[in-house]
Structure formats: structure tokens, C-alpha cells
Amino acid sequence: MKLIAICGSARKHGSTQAMLKQTIKGAQSVGAEAEFINLFDLNYKDCIGCNSCKLDDSRFYGRCNVNDGLKSVFERIEKADILVLGSPVYYGNLSGQMLSFTDRLLYQYLDFGNTDLRINRKKFKMALIATMNVNDKICAQRGHDIMLKNFAAMLAGSLGSCELLMLTDTLQFDDYSKYIYPISDREEKAKRVERISSEDLSRAFNLGITLANG
């Protein structure tokens, strides 16, 4: 069993990466192999709409033909069984790097509803981990939860199945005294000792176990 975790956060030691690393540890604890990839370490483009992956009688049919930093990533993903995506939520959506990645990943497999086409229909077990600064109440008020559920459903419909794990009320800054942050929860967040609670880390660890054992 091989798991690949894809991180769409620029913060190398932030909440998104921490949750992904715990998911990896959970999967490894039951014997799975695991690989971590941070999209910010790669040089790649958005989908350019070249449609090479849709050309009839082409060796690139069902495969992205853009030769950049995602080429080898897609090749490794095809050999994996589990794919875990992790991203912060910015302005009601996933990070730009994650959206560009998923556009490229999903479009190469798109069969326009005709499952008899020759595109690789491999099914993955997937999970989407989304982290955000807002609390549960604001997450619901702004519809972040609905957006994430819809995105997870789209991933499931395209690639197999997809679990959703949301982490709300994360820390925005390491030291709140250095920044202008006129929000009511400033003092509460500034006093925190742990960036992520042990309960949330356990949720991520258990997710890894579930994916690897399921």
C-alpha cells in the first residue's frame, strides 16, 4: 500500500503540513509506504488547455503532456493507492497551488461521462485536509464547509472516494504582538501553547490508519 501526501501550503512548518505528516505516520504505523510532496518545491503551470490528453490515437491520451514539475509527480501518483491532499483555505477556496495541481490531475482523467473510453480509470482512496484561521462558526457562515464538501465530492466522483478533514481556528502568526490583527480572538490565540491540539493531530493520525486499512 503506497500513500502520497500533497501539500499546497507555503508554510513549511505550518498546520497543513503538520496534519499531513500525522496522516503519514498513521498510515506507516499499519505498514503503508508514504511519500510527502510540497507543491511549493515544484515549478509548474496551470492547465493550459492544450487538450493533448484528449487527442485520439495519441500516446498522451489520458496523460498530461506538459513537461514541468508535475510530470514525475503524476507518474508516481499512478503507482500509488492512496492520495491525501492538504491545503489552507484562502478567501473561501483552496490555495492557488492546490487548485492548479488538481486541475491538471483531474483533467487528464476526464472522460466526459463515457466510461468506455480508454482513459485509465484507476480508483484511489483519497482524503482532503483543509486548514483555516476562522473558527467553526465563521466557517459555516461563509460556506467554507459547503465548498470543501463539494470539492471532496468532486474528487470522489473523479478518482474514487474522498474523506474530508477540516481543521479550523488555526494560528495565523507565531507572535501576534508583531502584527496588526484587530480581531476579537487575538488575545486567545496569542496565549496558545500548542499550534494544533493533540486531539486534532490524533484525528489526522487515525485518518492515515483508516486509509491504509480500508
**Residue 94: predicted pLDDT:** 98
Of 144 and 214, the one with more pLDDT: 144
Q: What mean pLDDT, rounded, does the chain reach?
A: 92
Asked if residue 39 has pLDDT above 80, the reply is: yes
The pLDDT, as a whole number, for residue 99 is: 98
What local confidence, expressed as pLDDT, does residue 142 receive? 96
Q: How far apart are CA 174 and CA 158, in angstroms?
A: 38
> Cell digits for 197?
491540539
Would the pLDDT of 118 be above 80?
Answer: no
Q: How far apart are CA 87 and CA 151, in angstroms?
A: 12
Interhelix angle 144-159/96-107, rounded to 10 degrees, is 30
Contact 122, 67 (CB under 8 A): no
* Confidence tier at 5 by pLDDT (50, 70, 90): very high
Cβ atoms of 85 and 6 within 8 Å: the answer is yes
Q: Which of 24-33, 67-76, 94-103, 173-182 has the lowest mean pLDDT?
A: 173-182
Query: Does the pLDDT at position 191 exceed 90?
Result: no
3-state secondary structure of 6: strand
Look at residue 117 in the predicted model and tell me its pLDDT.
58
The H or E element spanning position 139 is helix 136-141
Residue 203 reports pLDDT greater than 60: yes
Average pLDDT over residues 141-149: 97
Query: Quick one: what percent of the chain has pLDDT higher than 90?
Result: 74
Q: Residue 115 pLDDT more than 80?
A: no
Q: How far apart are CA 195 and CA 15, in angstroms?
A: 7
Residue ranges covered by each domain of the chain: 2-213
Residue pLDDT, tens place only, 156-183? 998 989 999 999 999 888 888 899 988 8
- The total number of residues written for the chain in this structure: 214
What is the fold of 2-213?
Rossmann fold (3.40.50)
The residue assigned the cell 495519441 is: 58
Sign of CA dihedral 179, 185, 187, 193: negative
Q: What is the pLDDT of residues 70-86, one digit of tens each?
A: 999 999 999 999 999 99
